[in-house]
C-alpha cells in the first residue's frame, strides 16, 4: 500500500532553469494522526514566498504534459486507478482546477462526477452507494467534484437533512464518528485494491470568497455561476470551518491524507494540485506492459508481411 511522505519533508520544485520553489508538506497537508487547526496552521494566501505567476504557468504546463504521459502508461498497465476528490467552500476554484490541471489528459481515460443534492433513488440507499457506482476502473482517473465527504460536512451543518435519509434511530447514535470510521475503512479498502485516493481541500479565505462572489455579480458572463444559496451557506462559514477541521483530524490517514491547498491565488492552487498528482503517479513506478518473446516474434512476422507488401509492384 502506498505510503505518503513525512509532512516535515521539504519539497523542492524546479520552476525554471534558475528558479526553485521550496516548501514543507506540512503547509499543504494534514499530518495523519495529528490534530490540526484549520485557522492557525494553514494560510489560504500561502505561496511559499513565490510570486512569479509566469514561471508557475510554465511549470503547470510541464506538469500537464507529464500527467498526460503518466495517464497513457496508467491505462496501458491496467493495474492501478486514481481517484481524486475535491472539496471546498463555494468559489474556491474546484472547477477551474479540474479544467486546467486535467486539460492535457485523454478524455477516454477520465471521468468527472459532480455530486449534487441526493435524488430520491440515492436517498433510498446508503450514503456511499452513489459514490461506489462512480469509482474509476483500473487504468482510469476518476474525479469527484465534491464527494461522499458532503455527508460529514453539509449534513452536519444542516442535521435536518438526516431526516431525508431514512436512517433508523439506533444508527444515528454517534453517527459522525461512525461515518469517519466507515470512510476510513472504505478508502483503505480502495487503496489496498489498487485505487489510489488523493483528497484536496481548496482552502479559501472568507474575504477572497466575498471578492469572487462580487465578481460573479459584476461580470454578466459569470452571473450563471452565482446562486442565492451560495450567500446563504456563507452565513454558516464558521460552522463549516469547524466541521472541515474535524473531518481532516479524523480522516487524514496514512493511505489517504488530506492536502489542504491554499486557494486565494488560483495560479498557486493549480500548480500545487498538479505537482501532487504528478508526484503520486511517479511514485507508482508505472510501466508499459512487457511483451513476451512469442509476441515479439509475431510482431516481426507482421512487419515482414507489411514490408513485402510495399515491395510488390502494381501490375
* 160 vs 149: CA distance, rounded Å: 17
3-class DSSP assignment, residue 315: coil
Residue 196, pLDDT score: 97
**So what's the pLDDT on residue 314?**
60
pLDDT at 299 over 70: yes
Query: In the prediction, which pLDDT does 251 show?
Result: 98
pLDDT of residue 261: 97
Note the pLDDT of residue 21. 63
pLDDT of residue 9: 60
101-104's contacts with Cβ under 8 Å and 24+ in sequence apart are 101/60, 101/63, 101/64, 101/67, 101/270, 101/273, 101/274, 101/277, 102/67, 102/141, 102/143, 103/64, 104/64, 104/65, 104/67, 104/68
Q: Kindly state the average pLDDT of the residues 182-202.
A: 98
Domains identified in the chain and CATH numbers? 10-311 (3.40.50.300)
Name residues whose C-beta falls within 8 Å of residue 251's C-beta, 6 or more positions apart in sequence.
149, 152, 180, 183, 184, 187, 258
Rounded mean pLDDT of 129-149?
Answer: 97
| CA dist 236 → 52, 86, 113, 233, 313 (Å) | 35, 20, 25, 5, 79
Distance between the two ends of the chain, CA-based, in angstroms? Answer: 62
Q: What pLDDT was estimated at residue 229? A: 86
The model's pTM is: 0.90
More confident residue, 71 or 313: 71
101-128 average pLDDT score: 94
What is the mean predicted confidence (pLDDT) over 92-100? 96
pLDDT in tens, 240-284: 999 999 999 999 999 999 999 999 999 999 999 999 999 999 999
What is the C-alpha separation between 196 and 79, in angstroms, rounded?
11
Amino acid at each position: 500500500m502506498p505510503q505518503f511522505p513525512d509532512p516535515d519533508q521539504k519539497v523542492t520544485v524546479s520552476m525554471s532553469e534558475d528558479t526553485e520553489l521550496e516548501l514543507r508538506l506540512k503547509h499543504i497537508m494534514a499530518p495523519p494522526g495529528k490534530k490540526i487547526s484549520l485557522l492557525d496552521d494553514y494560510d489560504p494566501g500561502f505561496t511559499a514566498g513565490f510570486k512569479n505567476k509566469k514561471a508557475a504557468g510554465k511549470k503547470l504546463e510541464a506538469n500537464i504534459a507529464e500527467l498526460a504521459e503518466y495517464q497513457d502508461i496508467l491505462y496501458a498497465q491496467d493495474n492501478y486507478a486514481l481517484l481524486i476528490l475535491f472539496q471546498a467552500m463555494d468559489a474556491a476554484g474546484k472547477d477551474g482546477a479540474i479544467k486546467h490541471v486535467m486539460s492535457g489528459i485523454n478524455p477516454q481515460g477520465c471521468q468527472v462526477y459532480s455530486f449534487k443534492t441526493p435524488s430520491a433513488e440515492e436517498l433510498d440507499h446508503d450514503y456511499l452507494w452513489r459514490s461506489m457506482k462512480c469509482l474509476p476502473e483500473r487504468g482510469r482517473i476518476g474525479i469527484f467534484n465534491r464527494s461522499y465527504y458532503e455527508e460529514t460536512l453539509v449534513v452536519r451543518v444542516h442535521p435536518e437533512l438526516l431526516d431525508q435519509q431514512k436512517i433508523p434511530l439506533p444508527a444515528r447514535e454517534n453517527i459522525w464518528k461512525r461515518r469517519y470510521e466507515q470512510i476510513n475503512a472504505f478508502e483503505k479498502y480502495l487503496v489496498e485494491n489498487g485505487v489510489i485516493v488523493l483528497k484536496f481541500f481548496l482552502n479559501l479565505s472568507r474575504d477572497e470568497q466575498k471578492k469572487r462572489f462580487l465578481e460573479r455579480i459584476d461580470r454578466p458572463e459569470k452571473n450563471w455561476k452565482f446562486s442565492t444559496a451560495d450567500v446563504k451557506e456563507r452565513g454558516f462559514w464558521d460552522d463549516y470551518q469547524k466541521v472541515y477541521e474535524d473531518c481532516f483530524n479524523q480522516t487524514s490517514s496514512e493511505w489517504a491524507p488530506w492536502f489542504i491547498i491554499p486557494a486565494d491565488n488560483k495560479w498557486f492552487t493549480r500548480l500545487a494540485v498538479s505537482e501532487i498528482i504528478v508526484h503520486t503517479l511517479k511514485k507508482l513506478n508505472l510501466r508499459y506492459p512487457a511483451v513476451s518473446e512469442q509476441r515479439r516474434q509475431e510482431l516481426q512476422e507482421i512487419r515482414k508481411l507489411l514490408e513485402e507488401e510495399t515491395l510488390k509492384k502494381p501490375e
